[in-house]
Structure 1
């Protein structure tokens, strides 16, 4: 990676306080204009000082630069890349000062963003990427760390932030929203959520794009498109029965696929079988999750696989999906067949709802809450199997 690429990444990181922290007060328009003037003046002064003193230091022979990753553009003797420190500082410090002037308001705003990102689901996207990359690459490197952080928080903030904004009207009719299963915030804060959701992933995405090849970039682009297309107005894949389940499954499977592609994994049938099993499991889970919202979605005029085929048939479809995932795992290499038995807790969780109807669809929420905890138990078991496989 060149210095130019790193500079772009770190300068976008410096912009995060502006996106994640609210201004303490709006202030008169003239004061906001003065902030821009002061920042620009500071940038010019510091750039001049940097060029002068860096050039003197370089002329004296105290510092030398390797030319390989530099652009070759110099201001006097100083590489133009040296100005990146000034630019990042001028962007970062005023943003922190602006946001932290009122610590309580900043804390409340960050808490709202964390709630929006669904912390209970962070591991569901970060773990597949990290496991796939680490088991293929067999080492901890920068891509593993950056990718895991990205899929842990920024990815989920993008996914659920957009969802909460564009689903606000229907969420008002949904009794389960407003807590662990989805934030319900005032529309006045929607703009801040969208800005944070879009800006926060940018530096991580740039780093990953600069570090990979075209195939890696396309895979990541598909993953991000699925995240946006699920909820954003004009696409709304979540309202297209069948496509809603497939897109939701992509949200969780694509990080794993990206991890495999980024690490240049060899695609054997066993790898394909595990990937397909994960995808079918994801579709089944989304379908079951949609059952509890049938009446709320219909009242809001929303479509889903559950509103179209009905609650009972959707539960049976989810059951078949879990069993199909288990059968696919039986065809994979050891210890994949052993992992096939891990679908059984999900199957058992559906049994009480096999005779559910649309009038009692909300009772499926009990099963959905159990599903969230089953994920952690099964995730622990999968981790043990992966450790056993790597050790073996």
Structure 2
């Protein structure tokens, strides 16, 4: 590993910096999805799933956001919300450290998975990692391609496929498809707050192309679809999803500006925590009572 930062500050400070870059407030999107994927197999804890869940903590989130920060240094420098809990603002000298950290934390897991897991699970993992690398990295750089940036975020649902396949169980496809639609909705909704900075940098995101009011319509339609798909498995989960999504969309439509998008971001971040916790309670109770699957 390059010694540049480790010689200047302690190992603990470097680790703390890498954790910050990995945006721990958003780990729920990977860990929570992986845990729900395990619960959807009908068991509260399967030790065979633990390596996958562990991979979905720091290693995979560092891959997502570390690669993103390396390629977004110019726009992040002009973004006032970077450098906070909402995302790091790195300097060029950190890029090499981040690249090494992504490799060191992810490659051992991928080697183990290649040796231990079924081919279908490995293929889903490679797709999962590949989509997020090329979300930020050239030549594909999905984040700079309107509509593809949102559609590529369907990959956030892949742990609902990966974990069951790793355990030799068929995924619950309506739930996986529902979370894919949910993720396609949420990406441009959260990007509304960055419209000014992205437009100034010449990045044509879905949010830049549609504008705040257009994003409200786009996200609302995808969230309705996600609720329909969730309803095929659980009406209460679908209802909670629809209520929270409705609040977000209605507030953005009331004042369709990037500033409103920024004000709503904390509620949007809380969305998966609230809906996921509700889903988790229903699943754990159902498994405990023998009513699921």
User: When the two structures are superposed, what TM-score results if normalisation uses the length of structure 2?
Assistant: 0.92
Q: Which runs of 5+ in 1 are unaligned?
A: 1-17, 26-103
Is residue 239 of structure 2 the alignment partner of residue 341 of structure 1? yes
- Structure 2 residue aligned with 1:362, among 259, 263, 266? 259
- With over 3 angstroms needed to count, the CA separation of the structure-2 counterparts of 1:315 and 1:281, relative to structure 1, is same
2:119 and 2:265 mapped to 1: Cα distance?
38
8 A Cα contact 2:38 2:45, kept in partner: no
273-282 or 133-142: bigger deviation: 133-142
C-alpha distance in 1 between matches for 2:277 and 2:2: 35
- Of 99, 122, 126, the residue aligned with 1:221 is 126
Q: Distance in 1 between matches of 2:130 and 2:3?
A: 22
Deviation at 1:19, TM superposition (A): 7.0
- Encode CA deviations 1:260-308: one digit per residue, 9 max, x unaligned: 21122235xxx22211111111111101011111111010111111111
In structure 2, the partner of 1:258 is: 162
Question: In the alignment, what sits opposite 1:280?
Answer: 181
Equivalent residue pairs, number? 288
The 2-side partners of 1:139 and 1:178 are apart by 37
Larger displacement relative to structure 2 (232-241 or 133-142): 133-142
Distance 1:207 1:368, change over 3 A: same
Tell me what 1:198 maps to: 103
RMSD: 1.9
Residue 7 (structure 2) aligns with: 24
Indicate whether 1:245 and 2:145 are aligned: no
Q: Which structure would you say has the larger RCO, counting Cα contacts within 8 Å and 6 or more residues apart?
A: 2
Residue 194 of structure 2 corresponds to residue 293 of structure 1: yes
Distance 1:288 1:20, change over 3 A: farther
**Structure 2 CA distance, aligned partners of 1:266 and 1:105?**
45
For the 8 Å contact 1:249–1:279, the answer to whether it is kept is yes
Instruction: Summarize the Cα distance change of 1:19–1:223 in structure 2 as closer, same or farther, 3 Å threshold.
Output: farther
Partners of 1:130 and 1:369 in 2: CA distance: 23
* 2:276 paired with 1:379: yes
Q: How does 1:1-392 map to 2 (within 5 A)?
A: 18=1, 22-24=5-7, 104-136=9-41, 138=43, 140-250=45-155, 252-266=156-170, 271-330=172-231, 332-333=232-233, 336-343=234-241, 344-357=243-256, 360-390=257-287, 391=289, 392=291
Following superposition, the deviation at residue 363 of structure 1 comes to 2.4
Measure how far apart 1:141 and its partner are: 4.6
Q: What is the SS of the residue equivalent to 2:41?
A: helix
Whole-angstrom distance in 1 between the partners of 2:80 and 2:15: 24
CA–CA distance in structure 2, aligned partners of residues 274 and 259 of structure 1: 13
**Offset of residue 133 of structure 1:** 2.5
Give SS of 2:140's match.
Answer: coil
CA contact (8 A) 2:244 2:271 kept: yes
CA distance in 2, matches of 1:141, 1:156: 22
1:262 and 1:19, CA in 2 relative to 1: closer, same or farther beyond 3 A? farther
1:301 alignment partner, SS class: coil
Q: TM-score, normalised by structure 1?
A: 0.70
Separation in structure 1 between the aligned mates of residue 91 and residue 11 of structure 2, nearest angstrom: 17
Larger Rg: 1
Are the counterparts in 2 of residues 240 and 305 from structure 1 also a CA contact under 8 Å?
Answer: yes
Q: Is the 8 A contact 1:128 1:253 kept in 2?
A: yes
Using the TM superposition, give the Cα deviation of residue 388 of structure 1 relative to its aligned residue in structure 2, in angstroms. 2.3
Structure 2 distance, partners of 1:302, 1:208, is 36
